[in-house]
Amino acid sequence: MLEACIFSTVLCGFFGIVSKKNLVMKIISMDIMSTGVIACYVLVASRDGVFTPIVATDKIVNYSDPVPQAVILTAIVIGFSIQALMLVGVMKLAKDNPTLETKAIEENNIR
């Protein structure tokens, strides 16, 4: 069930990127798709019955790997910075164009 929710989140983001004509809506759709991909990675990386490697115990237990957590944090930071950069680009386009619709921007730049 959780896999289906994550897959539907990725698909909603993808269809938003493809179908929406407004650039801000495309950026939001890309963020939704990125959230779904990160959730998929967290789902795959998580396992039941593993312990954190910080806690010291006398018995031998199955410790979790901290590398996927570091990769996910890096992906979140990179995704946020890319989203901020795209929004700055949209703000620059908004100065020259009365609308943020892709068709209108293309027609305005052809002339």
Domain interval for residue 56: 2-110
What's the predicted TM-score (pTM) here? 0.79
Question: Among residues 96, 94, 95, 85, which one has the least CA distance to residue 22?
Answer: 94
What contacts 14, CB < 8 A, 6 or more positions away? 29, 33
Q: What pLDDT digit, counting tens, does each position of 4-15 carry?
A: 999 999 999 999
For 95-100, what is the mean pLDDT? Answer: 84
Give the mean pLDDT of the chain: 86
Q: What pLDDT digit, counting tens, does each position of 35-62 carry?
A: 999 999 888 877 666 667 676 666 777 7
Domain count, the chain: 1
CATH of the domain at 101: 1.10.287.3510
Q: Quote the DSSP letter at residue 24.
A: H
Give the CA count within 13 Å in the CB-facing half-sphere of 19.
6
